Amino acid sequence: EAQVTQNPRYLITVTGKKLTVTCSQNMNHEYMSWYRQDPGLGLRQIYYSMNVEVTDKGDVPEGYKVSRKEKRNFPLILESPSPNQTSLYFCASSLVGYLAKNIQYFGAGTRLSVL
Amino acid sequence: DQQVKQNSPSLSVQEGRISILNCDYTNSMFDYFLWYKKYPAEGPTFLISISSIKDKNEDGRFTVFLNKSAKHLSLHIVPSQPGDSAVYFCAASRRKIQGAQKLVFGQGTRLTINP
């Protein structure tokens, strides 16, 4: 089954304790992206990657890191989480190119609470 | 700077009636528009899309209308069913630019279909 898998689904942590949220896709997609969803703000892009070893900032990158060492994986790293990073996070992937129509496929989400 | 806006946070419709969800955008460079549907505890899933060269696209009970001069699009669901109760996100992109995969999302509208 074609899917984007995020882990963990739920996470409660404390300020300053480094954490990683994993994302993996099995569709051989070149493009992967991380979003956060907050009430009244919709989905905002954190980071994205056009292919292996190619990453770039989205609209709200502060406090986050990413890496793309393999095509299928795109982990999101919070080196020193703060309470304002409490949010619902989504990973997404898609093919690249005009015919791909920018249709992105999303994981089920990771709900993060930073105390 | 909210480039894609969904001004109605919620909408309640009776089963069998038409649901109309609205979306406005400010960037005239957007050339492709998508609607995503999101159930609780799941990631957004692609519903329907429309290119800027069209003014209507239909898929079963779902129709998207685009008014480029007004920078407005709408999603019509006819007839509405209880399973349509979800949060709907409007998204826009600039597909013609090589490598441009970014989706800009609206804030979302929570649709509730009442029996």
Contacts of residue B37, defined as CB under 8 A and 6 or more positions apart, other chains included, come to B44, B45, B47, B86, B87, B88, B89
Task: Please count the other Cβ atoms lying within 10 Å of the Cβ belonging to residue A54.
Answer: 12
Among A45, A92, A101, beta carbon nearest to B32:
A101
Q: What backbone phi and psi angles, to 5 degrees, belong to A83?
A: -55, -30
pLDDT at A18: 97
| pLDDT one-digit tens code per residue, B20-78 | 999 999 999 898 999 999 999 999 999 999 999 999 999 999 999 999 999 999 999 99
The C-alpha of B69 sits at a distance from chain A's nearest C-alpha, in angstroms, of: 22
CA distance B89 to B47: 10
CB contact under 8 A, B101 and A50: yes
Partner A contacted by B30 (CB < 8 A): no
CB contact under 8 A, B32 and A44: no
Instruction: Give, for A14, the enclosing helix (H) or strand (E).
Output: none
Task: Please count the other Cβ atoms lying within 10 Å of the Cβ belonging to residue B112.
Answer: 14
Asked if A46 and A64 count as a contact pair (C-beta separation under 8 A), the reply is yes
